[in-house]
C-alpha cells in the first residue's frame, strides 16, 4: 500500500429499542458527535471531509434506496456519497479503498439500523434464495440453528460452552455504557431460556436492537494533523462463501479462514494469539463466537469450546474477545461490524473505560453478512505503539 | 498519480421483456461468462466481484450473497452497492475504485434485474423511496418525478412535443441496430404523438420499458490490462454527486443546482474540458424518459437552457451526427435497472473499440461521456478514453 490509512475518530449511539427517534435522527446522533469531536466540516477544498459512505439495508429500513435517510444527515447533499448494502466493516473497507485510490483523503462512514420498527424474521426471510429457501421459511435464525447443530455435533461443543459465551459477554456489557442488555445472568438462566430454534435459545441470541455508528478515515498526513491518537488499518480482507446451506461445510467457516489469512498476511501476523491484544467479533448467536474464533485462528478447528473454558478470552485473559459485550449484548444487524470497529478503536486509544484491555496495541475486528456468516470481513487495527 | 484502470472485457445478455428460460442468478451468469469470454479470462483470474440489483424492485434482499455461485464470487472479495436506478453505474464506479486502490488488479462487475420472478414491482418500491410522513402519500414512482421535470421544462422553454417525438424516433432507429436492445422496432413521429398519455406530458413511448437482463464488465489495472487485451478502454474519470431532495429541486424550493450540473462542472473542471461538445465524441446517457434526454443535455452543461431542441432537429444527436447521444438506443430501449447504468459504460466502451456493429457511430470515438441516474437524484458521470493519457 502506497498510502497509509488511519481511523481518526469514532462515535456510536447507545444501543436499545428507540421509539423516540425517526431513523435519520438516530443516524444523526453519532454524526453530530463525531463532527463535534473532530471539528471537521464537509468541504470541497480538501480541508475537511471529502466524501461519505453509508451502510444500510432497504428491507431493514422499510424503504427502498434507504441510503437517502443518511444523505442529509451525513453530508451527502450535492457531494460524493456511496451507499453499500453490507455490514459496516465493508463500508470501512470501501472507504479505505477510496483513499488508497486517491479519490478522497478524508471519508465519513456511517451505518444505521432500527430493527425494532420491522419484523426481523420477515426481513431475513427476504434475504435468502426466493425459489427454494424462502418458501420453507428459512431466516437467519433457523439457518444459524442448522450451523450450530452441524458445528456442535461434529466437534462435541456443548450448550454449556455456548452459554459461557453469553455469561462472559453480558458480564462485559455491564462495563460498557453503550451496551443494551446488562441484566445479570447465570448459566442456568441461559440454558433454561425459551428455545427459539434448536439448539439456539432466547439468551443465545442477540436482542432486537436499534443504533448507529460513525467513523472517519483519513490518509496518513491528514490523520496525524487531525488527531494525536490515530488508529491505523494494517490489514483488511473480505470473502464470500456459498449461499445454500447444503452446499457448505457449515461446521467450518471457509470464508472467514480465507479472509483472516489474507488480512494476517497483509499485516505480517503469523501467530495471531501472541500478536493480537484484543478481538471484537460479530456473534449474533453464542455458538458463533466459538466458531468465528476458530476461523480467525485463535484456536484450532473444533477447539472453540476449550477456548472459552480456558478463560483466555475474558478481559484480563491472554486474548480478550468482545470486551464490549459483543453483538449478544445488543447491536443491530448491518451496524454490528462497525460497532466492532468503534470498540477496537476505543481500545487502542485507551478510551474504553471500565472495559479497557490494558496496553492494547493491535485489535482484530470481524464483521459478517448473510446467512451463517456467508460474507466475512476481517480488519486489523493498530495504534502508534502497534506500528504504523 | 492514481493507478490507471481499463475496461478489458464486456458482456451482456439480450435485454428482453421476460426471460422465462433462466433464473435471475443464471441470467447474471450469462453476462459474467460473456464478459470473461470477451476478455479471454477465466473466473480464476478475477480477484473481486462487485454486483448490484435493487432489492425491493426485485423482491429479494442481499442478492450478492444469494448469487455467489453464479457470479463466481465463491471465496472471493466483493461488495454490493445499491443506489436505485444508479446502481449499475455505481458498481462501475466502485469497481474502478477497487482496481485503482492497488489492492485488486482484476475486478468483475455485474448488474442485472428480473423483477417479476419473485413478485418485485419497481414502481411500488420507488414510492417507498421518499419520506414516509410527508411525500409518500402522493408520490407516483419514477414516472411522476420525470413528468414533473418535463412539465417544468416545457413551461420554461416552450419545447414542442414533436421534438420529444423526434428524439424518441432517433432512439428507436439506434435500437434497431443494437441486437441486445429490448425494444427494437421502427416507429414514426406519429406513433409517438399518438401513444397513450401516462402523466402529462409523458406518453407511453416516451418512457423506458421494464426489462430483464444483465451486463458485466471486467476492469483491470494498467499492467494487467496491457497483457489481457490490445484494445483496452481507459477510465479517465468518474464523478458521483447525490442530491438529497428531488421533489425539493423540482418544486423550486431548493436554491441548489441539480446533481447533474454539479457533476458536470466537477468532471469537466477536473479533466480540463472547456468545450465538451467539441472535445467529447459521444454521450451514452442514462435517459429514463425521452424528455429527460433533452433536458439533461442542458443540465450536463453541454448546451445553454433551451438549446437542446434545435440540436435534435438538426440531427446532431443521430448516430451519424456530430454529437451522437445513446447510439445503443438508450434506456428508453432497454431498462433492466441493476444493469442499466453499467450497460451505458459497456456501450460507450464498445463504441471506442469499434465493436458496436450495426449501431457503431460513423465518427471516430476517442473520448466518450457516460452518465447514470437514480434515487433522489444521484448522478454518476464518467469519461472513457481510447488513449491512456
| Res B248: pLDDT | 67
Contacts of B55 in chain A (CB under 8 A): 57-59, 64, 85, 126
| Res B131: pLDDT | 79
Q: Provide mean pLDDT across the span A26-30.
A: 98
| Distance of residue A386 Cα from the nearest chain B Cα, in angstroms | 22
- pLDDT tens digit string along A69-93? 889 899 999 999 999 999 999 999 9
Query: Is A68 close to B244, i.e. CB distance below 8 A?
Result: yes
| Res B1: pLDDT | 57
| Distance of residue B238 Cα from the nearest chain A Cα, in angstroms | 10
For chains A and B, CB pairs below 8 A equal 180
| Res A301: pLDDT | 97
- pLDDT tens digit string along A238-285? 999 999 999 999 999 999 999 999 999 999 999 999 999 999 999 999
ipTM for the complex? 0.97
Pair B166, B310: CB distance under 8 Å: no
User: Would you say residue B274 has pLDDT above 90?
Assistant: yes
Q: Does A183 touch chain B (CB under 8 A)?
A: no
User: Would you say residue A309 has pLDDT above 80?
Assistant: yes
| Res B247: pLDDT | 66
With CA atoms as reference, the chain A residue closest to B60 would be A126
Find cell 465538451 and name the residue.
B276
Strand partners, A81: A52
Contacts of B247 in chain A (CB under 8 A): none
| Res B116: pLDDT | 83
- pLDDT tens digit string along B116-126? 888 778 888 88
Q: Provide mean pLDDT across the span B75-86.
A: 95
| Res B169: pLDDT | 98
- Collapsing DSSP states into helix, strand and coil, what is residue B221? strand
- pLDDT tens digit string along B315-325? 999 999 999 99
Class of residue A154 by CB neighbours under 10 A (exposed 0-12, middle 13-18, buried 19+): middle
Q: Provide mean pLDDT across the span A123-145.
A: 96
Model's pTM, two decimal places? 0.97
Better pLDDT: B245 or A288: A288
Contacts of B374 in chain A (CB under 8 A): 65
User: Would you say residue A314 has pLDDT above 70?
Assistant: yes
Q: Provide mean pLDDT across the span B13-35.
A: 96
Segment among A15-19, B247-251, B339-343 with least mean pLDDT = B247-251
| Res B136: pLDDT | 82
| Res A171: pLDDT | 96
Q: Read out DSSP for B127-189?
A: HTTS-TTTTGGG--HHHHHHHHHHHHHHHHH---HHHHHHHHHHHHHHHHT-TT-S------H
Q: Provide mean pLDDT across the span B275-293.
A: 97
- Collapsing DSSP states into helix, strand and coil, what is residue B233? strand
Segment among B99-108, B203-212, B251-260 with least mean pLDDT = B251-260
Class of residue A208 by CB neighbours under 10 A (exposed 0-12, middle 13-18, buried 19+): middle
User: Would you say residue A367 has pLDDT above 70?
Assistant: yes
| Res B113: pLDDT | 95
Query: Is A71 close to B23, i.e. CB distance below 8 A?
Result: no
| Res B294: pLDDT | 98
- pLDDT tens digit string along B351-385? 999 999 999 999 999 999 999 998 778 999 999 99
* C-alpha dihedral sign at A65, A67, A73, A74: negative
With CA atoms as reference, the chain A residue closest to B53 would be A85
Give chain B's mean pLDDT: 94
| Distance of residue A318 Cα from the nearest chain B Cα, in angstroms | 31
Contacts of B65 in chain A (CB under 8 A): 127, 240, 243, 369-371, 374-375
* Residue of A237, A239, A243 with shortest CB distance to B69: A243
Give chain A's mean pLDDT: 96
Q: In terms of Cα–Cα distance, which of B209, B207, B206 is closest to B166?
A: B206
Q: Does A221 touch chain B (CB under 8 A)?
A: no
User: Would you say residue A2 has pLDDT above 80?
Assistant: no
Better pLDDT: A217 or B146: A217
| Res B57: pLDDT | 86
| Res A325: pLDDT | 97
User: Would you say residue A165 has pLDDT above 90?
Assistant: yes
| Res B250: pLDDT | 67
| Distance of residue B61 Cα from the nearest chain A Cα, in angstroms | 4
- Using pLDDT thresholds of 50, 70 and 90, give the confidence band for residue B137: confident
Query: Is A86 close to B374, i.e. CB distance below 8 A?
Result: no
Strands B106-113, B367-374: pairing is unpaired
Q: Read out DSSP for A266-318?
A: HHT-S-HHHH--EEE---SBHHHHHHHHHHTTSS-TT-HHHHHHHTTTSTTSS
| Res B228: pLDDT | 98
Query: Is B68 close to A254, i.e. CB distance below 8 A?
Result: no
User: Would you say residue B206 has pLDDT above 70?
Assistant: yes
What CA dihedral angle connects B33, B34, B35 and B39, to 10 degrees? 100
- Using pLDDT thresholds of 50, 70 and 90, give the confidence band for residue B44: very high
User: Would you say residue B249 has pLDDT above 80?
Assistant: no
User: Would you say residue B252 has pLDDT above 70?
Assistant: no
- Using pLDDT thresholds of 50, 70 and 90, give the confidence band for residue B138: confident
Name the E strands within chain B.
Answer: 5-12, 48-52, 77-79, 106-113, 197-199, 202-203, 213-221, 233-242, 282-284, 367-374, 378-385
| Res B125: pLDDT | 85
User: Would you say residue A386 has pLDDT above 70?
Assistant: yes
Segment among A109-123, A351-365, B54-68 with least mean pLDDT = B54-68
| Res B245: pLDDT | 73
Query: Is A65 close to B84, i.e. CB distance below 8 A?
Result: yes
Grid coordinates of B132 = 414516509
Query: Is B65 close to A370, i.e. CB distance below 8 A?
Result: yes
Q: In terms of Cα–Cα distance, which of B79, B338, B47 is closest to A369?
A: B79
Amino acid at each position: 500500500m502506497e498510502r497509509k490509512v488511519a481511523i481518526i475518530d469514532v462515535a456510536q449511539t447507545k444501543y436499545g429499542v428507540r421509539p423516540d427517534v425517526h431513523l435519520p435522527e438516530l443516524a444523526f446522533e453519532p454524526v453530530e458527535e463525531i463532527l463535534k469531536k473532530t471539528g471537521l466540516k464537509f468541504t470541497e477544498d480538501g480541508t475537511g471531509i471529502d466524501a461519505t459512505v453509508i451502510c444500510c439495508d432497504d428491507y431493514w429500513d422499510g424503504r427502498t434506496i434507504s441510503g437517502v435517510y443518511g444523505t442529509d444527515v451525513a453530508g451527502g447533499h450535492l457531494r460524493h456519497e456511496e451507499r453499500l448494502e453490507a455490514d459496516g466493516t465493508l463500508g470501512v473497507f470501501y472507504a479505505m479503498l477510496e483513499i488508497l485510490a486517491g479519490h478522497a483523503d478524508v471519508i465519513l462512514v456511517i451505518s444505521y439500523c432500527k430493527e425494532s420498527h420491522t419484523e426481523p424474521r420477515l426481513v431475513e426471510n427476504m434475504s435468502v434464495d426466493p425459489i427454494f429457501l424462502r418458501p420453507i421459511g428459512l431466516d437467519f435464525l433457523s439457518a444459524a440453528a442448522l450451523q450450530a447443530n452441524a458445528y456442535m455435533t461434529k466437534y462435541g461443543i456443548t450448550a454449556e460452552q455456548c452459554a459461557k459465551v453469553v455469561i462472559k459477554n453480558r458480564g462485559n456489557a455491564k462495563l460498557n455504557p453503550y451496551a443494551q442488555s446488562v441484566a445479570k445472568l447465570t448459566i442456568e438462566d441461559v440454558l433454561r431460556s425459551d428455545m427459539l430454534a434448536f439448539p439456539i435459545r432466547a439468551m443465545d441470541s442477540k436482542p432486537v436492537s436499534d443504533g448507529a455508528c460513525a467513523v472517519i478515515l483519513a490518509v496518513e498526513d491528514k490523520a496525524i494533523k487531525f488527531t494525536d491518537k490515530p488508529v491505523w488499518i494494517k490489514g483488511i480482507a473480505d470473502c464470500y462463501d456459498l449461499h445454500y446451506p447444503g452446499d457448505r461445510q457449515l461446521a467450518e467457516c471457509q470464508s472467514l479462514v480465507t479472509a483472516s489469512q489474507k488480512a494476517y498476511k497483509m499485516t505480517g501476523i503469523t501467530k495471531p494469539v501472541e500478536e493480537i491484544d484484543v478481538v471484537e467479533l460479530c456473534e449474533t448467536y453464542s455458538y458463533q463466537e466459538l466458531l468465528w474464533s476458530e476461523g480467525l485462528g485463535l484456536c484450532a478447528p473444533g477447539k472453540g469450546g476449550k477456548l472459552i473454558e480456558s478463560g483466555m478470552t475474558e478481559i484480563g485473559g491472554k486474548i480478550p474477545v468482545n470486551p464490549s459485550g459483543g453483538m449478544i449484548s445488543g447491536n443491530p444487524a448491518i451496524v454490528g461490524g462497525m460497532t466492532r470497529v468503534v470498540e477496537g478503536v476505543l481500545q487502542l486509544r485507551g478510551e474504553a473505560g471500565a472495559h479497557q484491555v490494558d496496553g492494547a496495541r493491535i485489535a482484530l475486528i470481524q464483521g459478517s453478512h448473510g446467512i451463517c456468516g456467508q460474507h466475512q470481513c476481517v480488519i486489523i487495527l493498530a495504534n502508534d505503539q502497534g506500528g504504523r | 498519480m492514481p493507478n490507471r484502470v481499463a475496461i478489458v472485457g464486456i458482456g451482456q445478455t439480450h435485454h428482453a421483456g421476460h426471460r422465462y428460460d433462466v433464473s435471475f442468478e443464471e441470467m447474471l451468469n450469462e453476462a459474467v461468462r460473456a464478459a470473461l469470454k470477451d476478455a479471454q479470462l477465466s473466473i480464476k483470474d478475477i480477484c473481486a466481484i462487485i454486483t448490484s440489483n435493487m432489492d425491493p424492485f426485485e423482491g429479494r434482499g442481499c442478492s450478492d450473497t444469494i448469487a455467489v455461485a453464479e457470479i463466481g464470487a465463491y471465496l472471493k472479495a466483493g461488495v454490493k452497492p445499491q443506489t436505485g436506478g444508479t446502481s449499475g453505474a455505481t458498481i462501475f464506479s466502485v469497481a474502478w475504485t477497487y482496481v485503482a486502490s492497488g489492492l485488486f488488479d482484476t475486478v468483475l462487475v455485474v448488474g442485472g434485474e428480473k423483477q417479476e420472478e419473485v413478485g418485485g414491482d419497481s414502481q411500488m418500491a420507488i414510492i417507498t423511496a421518499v419520506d414516509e410522513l410527508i411525500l409518500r402519500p402522493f408520490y407516483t414512482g419514477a414516472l411522476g418525478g420525470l413528468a414533473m421535470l418535463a412539465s417544468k421544462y416545457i413551461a420554461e422553454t416552450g419545447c414542442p412535443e414533436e421534438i420529444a417525438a423526434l428524439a424518441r424516433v432517433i432512439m428507436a432507429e439506434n435500437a434497431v441496430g443494437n441486437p441486445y436492445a429490448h425494444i427494437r422496432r421502427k416507429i414514426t413521429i406519429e406513433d409517438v404523438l399518438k401513444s397513450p398519455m401516462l402523466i402529462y406530458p409523458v406518453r407511453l413511448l416516451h418512457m423506458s420499458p421494464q426489462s430483464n437482463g444483465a451486463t458485466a464488465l471486467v476492469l483491470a489495472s494498467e499492467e494487467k490490462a496491457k497483457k489481457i487485451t490490445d484494445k483496452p478502454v481507459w477510465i479517465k474519470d468518474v464523478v458521483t454527486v447525490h442530491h438529497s431532495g428531488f421533489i425539493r429541486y423540482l418544486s423550486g424550493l431548493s436554491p441548489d443546482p441539480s446533481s447533474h450540473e454539479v457533476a458536470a462542472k466537477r468532471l469537466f473542471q477536473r479533466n480540463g474540458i472547456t468545450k465538451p461538445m467539441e472535445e467529447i465524441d459521444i454521450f451514452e446517457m442514462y435517459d429514463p424518459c425521452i424528455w429527460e434526454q433533452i433536458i439533461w443535455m442542458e443540465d450536463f452543461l453541454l448546451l445553454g437552457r433551451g438549446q437542446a431542441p434545435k440540436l435534435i432537429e438538426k440531427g446532431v444527436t443521430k448516430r451519424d451526427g456530430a454529437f451522437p447521444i445513446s447510439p445503443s438506443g438508450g434506456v428508453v430501449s432497454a431498462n433492466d435497472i441493476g444493469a442499466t447504468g453499467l450497460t451505458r459504460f459497456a456501450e460507450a466502451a464498445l463504441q471506442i473499440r469499434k465493436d458496436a456493429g450495426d449501431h457503431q457511430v460513423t465518427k471516430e470515438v476517442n473520448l466518450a461521456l457516460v452518465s447514470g441516474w437514480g434515487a433522489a437524484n444521484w448522478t454518476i458521470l464518467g469519461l472513457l478514453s481510447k488513449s491512456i493519457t
